[in-house]
Amino acid sequence: MMHFAQIFSYGLLSGALYGLVALGLSLVFGVMNYLIIAHGALIMMAAYMTFWAFFYLKIDPFLCILLVTPAFFVIGWILFKVLYQSLMKFSEGEKIKNSLLISFGLLLVFPNLAILFWTADERAVATAYTGKVLDLFGIRLPYIGLGGVALAIIVIIALHLFLTRTYFGKAIRAVSQDHEAATLMGINVNRICLVAFSMGFALAGIPGVITSLHAFNPGISMDLTNKALIVLILAGFGSIKGVLIGGLLLGAIEATGVYIVGAPYREVFGLILFVLILMFRPQGLTGKKA
Protein backbone atom coordinates (compact mmCIF):
# COMPACT_ATOMS: atom_id res chain seq x y z
CA MET A 1 0.00 0.00 0.00
CA MET A 2 2.87 2.31 0.90
CA HIS A 3 4.44 1.45 -2.44
CA PHE A 4 1.24 2.40 -4.26
CA ALA A 5 0.93 5.66 -2.31
CA GLN A 6 4.49 6.53 -3.31
CA ILE A 7 3.90 5.82 -7.02
CA PHE A 8 0.56 7.59 -6.91
CA SER A 9 1.96 10.75 -5.36
CA TYR A 10 4.74 10.80 -7.96
CA GLY A 11 2.03 10.45 -10.57
CA LEU A 12 0.19 13.46 -9.21
CA LEU A 13 3.40 15.51 -9.16
CA SER A 14 4.05 14.76 -12.82
CA GLY A 15 0.35 15.25 -13.50
CA ALA A 16 0.55 18.88 -12.44
CA LEU A 17 3.43 19.30 -14.89
CA TYR A 18 1.34 17.70 -17.65
CA GLY A 19 -1.34 20.29 -16.96
CA LEU A 20 1.21 23.04 -17.37
CA VAL A 21 2.50 21.43 -20.57
CA ALA A 22 -0.98 21.48 -22.10
CA LEU A 23 -1.81 25.04 -21.07
CA GLY A 24 -0.30 26.93 -24.01
CA LEU A 25 -1.64 24.45 -26.55
CA SER A 26 -5.09 24.74 -25.05
CA LEU A 27 -5.06 28.54 -25.13
CA VAL A 28 -3.99 28.73 -28.78
CA PHE A 29 -6.45 26.08 -29.86
CA GLY A 30 -9.28 27.64 -27.93
CA VAL A 31 -8.77 31.12 -29.31
CA MET A 32 -8.02 30.50 -32.97
CA ASN A 33 -8.36 26.79 -33.73
CA TYR A 34 -4.65 26.35 -34.41
CA LEU A 35 -3.37 22.95 -33.42
CA ILE A 36 0.35 23.41 -32.69
CA ILE A 37 1.61 19.85 -32.33
CA ALA A 38 5.12 21.33 -32.09
CA HIS A 39 4.26 22.52 -28.57
CA GLY A 40 6.39 19.79 -26.99
CA ALA A 41 9.34 20.89 -29.12
CA LEU A 42 8.94 24.45 -27.80
CA ILE A 43 9.03 23.16 -24.23
CA MET A 44 12.15 21.18 -25.08
CA MET A 45 13.80 24.35 -26.49
CA ALA A 46 12.83 26.24 -23.33
CA ALA A 47 14.46 23.51 -21.26
CA TYR A 48 17.69 23.97 -23.22
CA MET A 49 17.50 27.72 -22.80
CA THR A 50 17.21 27.23 -19.04
CA PHE A 51 20.10 24.82 -19.16
CA TRP A 52 22.24 27.44 -20.89
CA ALA A 53 21.25 30.20 -18.50
CA PHE A 54 22.06 27.98 -15.56
CA PHE A 55 25.31 26.70 -17.01
CA TYR A 56 26.81 30.00 -18.17
CA LEU A 57 25.12 32.63 -16.03
CA LYS A 58 24.45 30.51 -12.93
CA ILE A 59 20.84 31.68 -12.75
CA ASP A 60 18.52 29.56 -10.65
CA PRO A 61 16.11 27.63 -12.92
CA PHE A 62 13.00 28.97 -11.20
CA LEU A 63 14.26 32.53 -11.78
CA CYS A 64 14.89 31.63 -15.41
CA ILE A 65 11.13 31.76 -15.94
CA LEU A 66 11.46 35.54 -16.02
CA LEU A 67 13.98 35.15 -18.84
CA VAL A 68 12.58 32.26 -20.85
CA THR A 69 8.92 33.31 -20.89
CA PRO A 70 9.49 36.73 -22.53
CA ALA A 71 11.92 35.15 -24.98
CA PHE A 72 9.27 32.67 -26.08
CA PHE A 73 6.68 35.42 -26.27
CA VAL A 74 8.91 37.11 -28.85
CA ILE A 75 9.52 33.85 -30.72
CA GLY A 76 5.76 33.26 -30.84
CA TRP A 77 5.21 36.80 -32.10
CA ILE A 78 7.70 36.31 -34.94
CA LEU A 79 6.44 32.85 -35.92
CA PHE A 80 2.86 34.10 -36.00
CA LYS A 81 3.82 36.96 -38.31
CA VAL A 82 5.90 34.72 -40.57
CA LEU A 83 3.97 31.45 -40.66
CA TYR A 84 0.55 31.60 -39.10
CA GLN A 85 -0.98 34.97 -40.00
CA SER A 86 -1.76 33.84 -43.52
CA LEU A 87 -3.95 31.03 -42.16
CA MET A 88 -6.37 33.45 -40.49
CA LYS A 89 -8.54 33.71 -43.59
CA PHE A 90 -9.29 29.98 -43.87
CA SER A 91 -12.38 28.15 -42.63
CA GLU A 92 -12.20 26.29 -39.34
CA GLY A 93 -11.37 22.87 -40.79
CA GLU A 94 -8.72 24.23 -43.14
CA LYS A 95 -7.20 26.26 -40.32
CA ILE A 96 -6.77 23.21 -38.13
CA LYS A 97 -5.38 21.15 -41.01
CA ASN A 98 -2.86 23.74 -42.19
CA SER A 99 -1.72 24.75 -38.72
CA LEU A 100 -1.29 21.07 -37.92
CA LEU A 101 0.86 20.55 -41.00
CA ILE A 102 3.00 23.63 -40.41
CA SER A 103 3.57 22.74 -36.78
CA PHE A 104 4.39 19.25 -37.95
CA GLY A 105 7.19 20.84 -39.98
CA LEU A 106 8.28 22.76 -36.86
CA LEU A 107 8.33 19.46 -35.00
CA LEU A 108 11.01 18.36 -37.46
CA VAL A 109 12.90 21.66 -37.30
CA PHE A 110 13.19 22.32 -33.55
CA PRO A 111 14.55 18.98 -32.29
CA ASN A 112 17.16 18.97 -35.04
CA LEU A 113 18.10 22.53 -34.24
CA ALA A 114 18.55 21.41 -30.63
CA ILE A 115 20.71 18.46 -31.69
CA LEU A 116 22.81 20.87 -33.74
CA PHE A 117 23.36 23.25 -30.80
CA TRP A 118 23.45 20.92 -27.83
CA THR A 119 23.95 17.39 -29.32
CA ALA A 120 21.57 14.54 -28.58
CA ASP A 121 23.06 13.78 -25.13
CA GLU A 122 20.94 13.77 -21.99
CA ARG A 123 21.19 16.99 -20.02
CA ALA A 124 19.84 18.09 -16.68
CA VAL A 125 20.16 21.18 -14.55
CA ALA A 126 21.62 20.10 -11.21
CA THR A 127 20.82 22.68 -8.55
CA ALA A 128 21.64 22.56 -4.84
CA TYR A 129 18.15 21.28 -4.08
CA THR A 130 18.05 18.59 -6.79
CA GLY A 131 17.43 15.22 -5.19
CA LYS A 132 16.31 16.70 -1.85
CA VAL A 133 13.04 15.20 -0.71
CA LEU A 134 10.30 16.05 1.76
CA ASP A 135 9.35 13.07 3.89
CA LEU A 136 5.60 13.10 4.49
CA PHE A 137 4.41 10.14 6.59
CA GLY A 138 6.93 7.94 4.83
CA ILE A 139 6.07 9.20 1.34
CA ARG A 140 9.03 10.90 -0.27
CA LEU A 141 8.22 13.99 -2.30
CA PRO A 142 11.05 15.73 -4.19
CA TYR A 143 11.19 19.51 -3.73
CA ILE A 144 11.48 20.00 -7.48
CA GLY A 145 8.19 18.18 -8.02
CA LEU A 146 6.48 20.21 -5.30
CA GLY A 147 7.84 23.41 -6.85
CA GLY A 148 6.37 22.28 -10.15
CA VAL A 149 2.96 21.68 -8.61
CA ALA A 150 2.97 25.10 -6.91
CA LEU A 151 4.01 26.75 -10.15
CA ALA A 152 1.34 24.91 -12.13
CA ILE A 153 -1.41 25.95 -9.72
CA ILE A 154 -0.24 29.57 -9.63
CA VAL A 155 0.09 29.89 -13.42
CA ILE A 156 -3.22 28.22 -14.22
CA ILE A 157 -5.12 30.31 -11.66
CA ALA A 158 -3.37 33.46 -12.87
CA LEU A 159 -4.28 32.73 -16.47
CA HIS A 160 -7.85 31.95 -15.47
CA LEU A 161 -8.12 35.25 -13.57
CA PHE A 162 -6.54 37.10 -16.48
CA LEU A 163 -9.06 35.65 -18.90
CA THR A 164 -12.09 36.26 -16.72
CA ARG A 165 -11.28 39.49 -14.85
CA THR A 166 -9.33 41.76 -17.18
CA TYR A 167 -10.63 43.65 -20.18
CA PHE A 168 -8.02 42.17 -22.46
CA GLY A 169 -8.74 38.65 -21.20
CA LYS A 170 -12.42 39.11 -21.87
CA ALA A 171 -11.58 40.22 -25.41
CA ILE A 172 -9.57 37.02 -25.89
CA ARG A 173 -12.55 34.97 -24.74
CA ALA A 174 -14.86 36.89 -27.02
CA VAL A 175 -12.61 36.12 -29.98
CA SER A 176 -12.48 32.44 -29.01
CA GLN A 177 -16.27 32.31 -29.12
CA ASP A 178 -16.90 34.11 -32.39
CA HIS A 179 -14.43 36.00 -34.57
CA GLU A 180 -17.06 37.97 -36.46
CA ALA A 181 -19.13 38.98 -33.49
CA ALA A 182 -15.95 40.06 -31.71
CA THR A 183 -15.01 42.22 -34.71
CA LEU A 184 -18.45 43.83 -34.63
CA MET A 185 -17.94 44.69 -30.96
CA GLY A 186 -14.88 46.67 -31.94
CA ILE A 187 -12.26 44.10 -30.99
CA ASN A 188 -9.17 43.95 -33.18
CA VAL A 189 -9.27 40.21 -33.82
CA ASN A 190 -5.92 40.02 -35.59
CA ARG A 191 -4.19 41.70 -32.70
CA ILE A 192 -5.89 39.53 -30.09
CA CYS A 193 -4.91 36.42 -32.01
CA LEU A 194 -1.32 37.61 -32.28
CA VAL A 195 -1.10 38.23 -28.54
CA ALA A 196 -2.91 34.99 -27.61
CA PHE A 197 -0.62 33.02 -29.91
CA SER A 198 2.48 34.59 -28.40
CA MET A 199 1.09 33.93 -24.92
CA GLY A 200 0.66 30.29 -25.88
CA PHE A 201 4.34 30.22 -26.77
CA ALA A 202 5.32 32.03 -23.59
CA LEU A 203 3.37 29.42 -21.64
CA ALA A 204 5.63 26.77 -23.17
CA GLY A 205 8.53 28.41 -21.32
CA ILE A 206 7.28 27.58 -17.82
CA PRO A 207 6.98 23.79 -18.16
CA GLY A 208 10.28 23.99 -20.05
CA VAL A 209 11.99 25.28 -16.92
CA ILE A 210 10.63 22.40 -14.84
CA THR A 211 11.52 19.89 -17.55
CA SER A 212 15.12 21.09 -17.43
CA LEU A 213 15.34 19.97 -13.79
CA HIS A 214 14.91 16.35 -14.86
CA ALA A 215 17.00 14.56 -17.46
CA PHE A 216 15.97 15.64 -20.95
CA ASN A 217 17.11 15.41 -24.58
CA PRO A 218 15.76 16.64 -27.94
CA GLY A 219 13.76 13.43 -28.30
CA ILE A 220 11.30 14.34 -25.54
CA SER A 221 9.45 16.76 -27.84
CA MET A 222 7.09 14.12 -29.16
CA ASP A 223 6.38 12.73 -25.68
CA LEU A 224 5.53 16.17 -24.36
CA THR A 225 3.25 16.97 -27.30
CA ASN A 226 1.59 13.65 -26.74
CA LYS A 227 1.00 14.42 -23.04
CA ALA A 228 -0.37 17.82 -23.95
CA LEU A 229 -2.81 16.30 -26.45
CA ILE A 230 -4.01 13.71 -23.94
CA VAL A 231 -4.58 16.38 -21.28
CA LEU A 232 -6.36 18.52 -23.85
CA ILE A 233 -8.78 15.76 -24.72
CA LEU A 234 -9.33 14.95 -21.04
CA ALA A 235 -9.98 18.59 -20.26
CA GLY A 236 -11.95 19.36 -23.41
CA PHE A 237 -10.29 21.29 -26.26
CA GLY A 238 -9.73 24.91 -25.33
CA SER A 239 -10.69 24.66 -21.67
CA ILE A 240 -8.26 26.42 -19.31
CA LYS A 241 -9.74 25.41 -15.97
CA GLY A 242 -9.99 21.77 -16.99
CA VAL A 243 -6.29 21.58 -17.85
CA LEU A 244 -5.05 21.17 -14.27
CA ILE A 245 -7.64 18.50 -13.50
CA GLY A 246 -6.91 16.77 -16.80
CA GLY A 247 -3.19 16.76 -16.03
CA LEU A 248 -3.67 15.37 -12.54
CA LEU A 249 -6.06 12.74 -13.92
CA LEU A 250 -3.50 11.66 -16.50
CA GLY A 251 -0.79 11.50 -13.82
CA ALA A 252 -3.04 9.38 -11.60
CA ILE A 253 -3.96 7.02 -14.45
CA GLU A 254 -0.32 6.58 -15.43
CA ALA A 255 0.68 5.89 -11.84
CA THR A 256 -2.05 3.31 -11.42
CA GLY A 257 -1.06 1.69 -14.72
CA VAL A 258 2.60 1.60 -13.71
CA TYR A 259 1.65 -0.02 -10.39
CA ILE A 260 -0.48 -2.70 -12.05
CA VAL A 261 1.42 -3.52 -15.27
CA GLY A 262 4.89 -2.02 -15.01
CA ALA A 263 6.91 1.04 -15.88
CA PRO A 264 7.79 0.24 -19.53
CA TYR A 265 4.15 0.67 -20.51
CA ARG A 266 3.82 3.99 -18.70
CA GLU A 267 3.05 6.01 -21.83
CA VAL A 268 0.57 3.50 -23.21
CA PHE A 269 -2.20 3.96 -20.63
CA GLY A 270 -2.66 7.62 -21.38
CA LEU A 271 -2.63 6.94 -25.10
CA ILE A 272 -5.23 4.18 -24.90
CA LEU A 273 -7.46 6.37 -22.77
CA PHE A 274 -6.91 9.12 -25.33
CA VAL A 275 -8.04 6.96 -28.24
CA LEU A 276 -11.08 5.73 -26.31
CA ILE A 277 -12.16 9.24 -25.39
CA LEU A 278 -11.58 10.44 -28.95
CA MET A 279 -13.89 7.73 -30.17
CA PHE A 280 -16.67 7.96 -27.63
CA ARG A 281 -16.56 11.52 -26.34
CA PRO A 282 -14.62 13.67 -28.84
CA GLN A 283 -15.76 16.87 -27.13
CA GLY A 284 -13.72 15.87 -24.06
CA LEU A 285 -14.85 14.83 -20.62
CA THR A 286 -16.08 18.25 -19.59
CA GLY A 287 -17.10 19.03 -23.14
CA LYS A 288 -17.33 22.79 -23.22
CA LYS A 289 -15.26 25.40 -25.03
CA ALA A 290 -13.62 28.14 -22.98
Q: Which residues form the interface with another protein (CB under 8 A)?
A: 35, 37, 83, 86, 93, 96-98, 100-102, 104-109, 112-113, 115-116, 222, 226, 229-230, 264-265, 267-268, 271-272, 274-275, 278-279, 282
Distances from the Cα of 228 to the Cα of 164, 197, 207, 237, 243, angstroms: 23, 16, 11, 11, 9
CB of 165 to another protein, least distance (A): 31
In total, the chain counts a number of residues equal to 290
Q: Which residues pair with 216 in a beta bridge?
A: 123
Q: Which residues pair with 135 in a beta bridge?
A: 140
Q: Which is nearer to another protein, 63 or 109 (CB)?
A: 109
Q: Which is nearer to another protein, 28 or 174 (CB)?
A: 28
Q: What does the alpha-carbon distance between residue 228 and residue 21 come to, in Å, rounded to a whole number?
A: 6
Q: Which is nearer to another protein, 102 or 213 (CB)?
A: 102
Burial of residue 197 (number of CB atoms within 10 Å: 0-12, 13-18, 19+): buried
Q: What does the alpha-carbon distance between residue 266 and residue 21 come to, in Å, rounded to a whole number?
A: 18
Q: Which is nearer to another protein, 5 or 83 (CB)?
A: 83
CB of 96 to another protein, least distance (A): 5
CB of 101 to another protein, least distance (A): 5
Q: Which is nearer to another protein, 105 or 287 (CB)?
A: 105
CB of 220 to another protein, least distance (A): 13
CB of 223 to another protein, least distance (A): 9
Q: What does the alpha-carbon distance between residue 53 and residue 68 come to, in Å, rounded to a whole number?
A: 9
Q: Which is nearer to another protein, 96 or 124 (CB)?
A: 96
CB of 58 to another protein, least distance (A): 29
CB 164 within 8 A of CB 226: no
Distances from the Cα of 209 to the Cα of 62, 106, 181, angstroms: 7, 20, 38
